[in-house]
């Protein structure tokens, strides 16, 4: 209803007179009907009213049934979600238990140089920064740790030839560092004087494997 439609103003008075005229017309029209016709109209209106009331009751009943079903389903869904959450936590705990800490003392190291190319549009420069994680160097060390090539930055003898600013790309950036190696000797290999290295090498050494095969053949003969 508009703001101009208020009791007492012109709009309100016009609407009121219009409704009064319509009532007068309908009254005059009804007076022309016979008694039987009026009875039929009243009975028809009662039937329509009864149908409308029954439809309203049916819709209310359906809504109540739907609410009851939802209220019954909610505890079940909550229980199911709780079970799923517990199951996921249990799986994570099992995986954490199964994952053993990588033993770097069982391997030699090798000093290598890596040539890098990168598009620096989305990075905040090459070198790592204290308050910024999105640098090329940060992502590089994250990958090296994930592959178990280095234990940490402090112990890998890392150095770089230069650096780039935010948004700057490079196609010949060179870094050097010590990485885990399966090699026993050679250029750049840093041998670890560890019993674990000797034990691991003894298990997978080609000569020892050949000797084991020969012993098995002798036993068969």
Reported as type and span, the H/E element at residue 189 is strand 189-190
Token pair in block for residue 215: 């012993």
Is 185 designated active site? Answer: no
Q: Is the dihedral of CA 144, 147, 153, 158 positive or negative?
A: negative
As a whole number of angstroms, the distance between CA 148 and CA 182 comes to 12
Cβ(179)–Cβ(107) under 8 Å?
no
Token pair 């190319």 in the structure block, residue: 117
Q: What is the DSSP string of 116-153?
A: EEE-GGGSS-SS--SS---SHHHHHHHHHHHTTS-S-S
As a whole number of angstroms, the distance between CA 58 and CA 6 comes to 38
As a whole number of angstroms, the distance between CA 112 and CA 78 comes to 55
> Which residues, in sequence order, are bridge partners of residue 179?
110
Q: Which of 165, 178, 185, 205 is catalytic?
A: 165
Cβ(136)–Cβ(126) under 8 Å?
yes
Catalytically active residues are 165
């Amino acid at each position: 209803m508009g703001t101009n439609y208020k009791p007492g103003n012109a709009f309100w008075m016009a609407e009121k007179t219009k409704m009064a005229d319509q009532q007068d017309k309908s009254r005059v029209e009804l007076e022309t009907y016979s008694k039987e016709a009026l009875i039929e109209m009243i009975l028809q209106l009662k039937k329509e009213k009864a149908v409308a009331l029954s439809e309203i009751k049916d819709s209310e009943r359906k809504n109540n049934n739907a609410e009851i079903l939802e209220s019954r389903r909610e505890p079940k869904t909550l229980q199911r979600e709780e079970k799923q959450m517990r199951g996921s936590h249990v799986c994570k705990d099992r995986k954490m238990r199964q994952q053993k800490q990588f033993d770097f003392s069982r391997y030699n190291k090798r000093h290598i140089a890596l040539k890098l190319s990168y598009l620096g549009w989305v990075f905040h420069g090459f070198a790592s920064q204290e308050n910024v994680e999105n640098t090329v160097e940060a992502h590089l060390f994250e990958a090296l740790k994930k592959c178990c090539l280095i234990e940490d930055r402090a112990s890998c003898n890392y150095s770089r030839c230069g650096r780039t600013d935010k948004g700057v790309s490079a196609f010949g950036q060179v870094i050097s560092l010590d990485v885990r190696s399966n090699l026993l000797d050679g250029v750049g290999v840093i041998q670890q004087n560890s019993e674990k290295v000797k034990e691991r090498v003894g298990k997978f050494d080609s000569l020892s494997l050949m000797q084991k095969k020969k012993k098995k053949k002798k036993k068969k003969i």
